[in-house]
Amino acid sequence: MKQAIMVLLAVVPCFGQQQPPIQDLNLIVGKKVVAQRIPLCQPGTYTVVLAYAGKQAEVISLKPFNAAHMSDAAMSRLTPELRAMMVDMQKAATILVKFEDGTQLDTCAPVGPSKLSNYFELVPGQMLPPAGQATGTLPAIPATTELVSSASAASNLLTQATNTLSSDQVQLALSGKGKDHWVSIQDMGLMAAQGNQVPTITLYMPEAVLAMRAESARKQFTAYEPTEEDKRQSLMIVAQGYAGTTISEGCTSITRIVLLSDPSGSVVKEAYLSEPLDETWRNGFGATNQCQSLRAKFALDDVRKVKAAAPNGEFLVAVFSGTVNTKMYKIKKKHQSKLGLD
């Protein structure tokens, strides 16, 4: 019987285990790196390539994402957590590497220093130059891998800073109220009948996330202090792709989740936060496959706008693997009732 193990990729504060924390991505240009298990893309596309994990490459260029600069006054009004995220955005870039066989791949979207080690590790024996010797600088506020690469992402993120649950709502959630405000929807087509890993999305309201994390902490006899992100009024969606019954059948890595009012995309809302989850699929004979699931968060205001524009109020969640729309899930009224969205 197959098993799926979901592992949230930890934010590692340093690039490789022998190097101090890196803050300027320009320092890695020209350096030899080893690709990790996060999917890379053919330059200028979302065509995912997984075959180069564990192989050596050279960093040949950086492409920063240009967006409006935030003033010091605006930055000072953010929470420490959000301010750190914005600073990381300012230093992010899409990283282009060249492998030994001549293949060039990039990181699919800008990557901030805090996520660099998820993509590449420095080949042992190399040293980074001092920060002052970096060639060139990066424009302010590019989007990181976990943020949608668009000029509106930064302003959306700022809007979310004040759109949080009240103290009373947080306390009620921590006590367990709303812990059932989540729903899982599976693609029950032919793949399910054949015994494959079924493509699935799971939707969580913020009170469900708080309640689950508080309950988990109590069982471990530890204290749980919600972060500002935990308190944000958002809908969290985790999407898992198809995996075959045999290794040769492969599996599908999820790279993007988007909300749609209807199949034609009259109203489209992107996630303000998106991060990959490394998934290991294992069959009964011990053979394994690695593919990527995705966790994305959407502002509840955006969810309501999509819902209001949807026929009969039943909106869609579209799941992509690169440029391919693998599945559109309809969020029916029964699902919305379970979530507490109705």
More confident residue, 40 or 44: 40
99 and 106 in contact (C-beta within 8 Å)? Answer: no
Tokens representing residue 217 in the block: 């902490």
| Residue percentage of the chain with pLDDT more than 70 | 71
117 plus 244 within the same structural domain: no
Q: Identify the sign of the CA torsion 108, 298, 6, 169.
A: positive
Tell which of 117, 144, 171 closes a domain: 144
134 plus 170 within the same structural domain: no
Query: For residue 189, what are the domain limits?
Result: 163-339
Mean pLDDT computed over 171-198: 77
99 plus 172 within the same structural domain: no
**Residue 158 resides in a domain:** no
pLDDT per residue as tens digits for the range 1-17: 444 333 333 333 344 44
pLDDT per residue as tens digits for the range 270-305: 988 888 876 555 555 555 556 778 889 999 999 999
**Residue 153 resides in a domain:** no
136 plus 202 within the same structural domain: no
Sheet containing 104-106: order of strands: 48-49, 40-41, 104-106, 94-99, 56-63, 32-35, 120-122
Q: How far is CA 114 from CA 91, 145, 174, in A?
A: 10, 10, 29
pLDDT per residue as tens digits for the range 136-160: 333 332 333 333 334 344 444 444 4
211 plus 333 within the same structural domain: yes
Using the predicted structure, report yes or no on whether residue 20 has a pLDDT greater than 90.
no
How does residue 192 score in pLDDT terms, banded at 50, 70 and 90? very low
Assign 296 to helix, strand or coil: strand
**Number of domains observed in the structure of the chain:** 2
**Residue 150 resides in a domain:** no
**Residue 265 resides in a domain:** yes
Mean pLDDT computed over 173-178: 92
Residues 234, 296: Cα–Cα separation, whole Å:
10
115 plus 208 within the same structural domain: no
52 plus 169 within the same structural domain: no
pLDDT value, residue 187: 79
Q: What is the 3-state secondary structure (H, E, C) of 235-287?
A: EEEEEECCECCCHHHCECCCCEEEEECCCCCCCEEECCEEEEEEEEEECCCCC
Tell which of 88, 116, 144 closes a domain: 144
Greatest Cα pair distance, the chain, in angstroms, is 61
**Residue 322 resides in a domain:** yes
Tell which of 144, 175, 194 closes a domain: 144
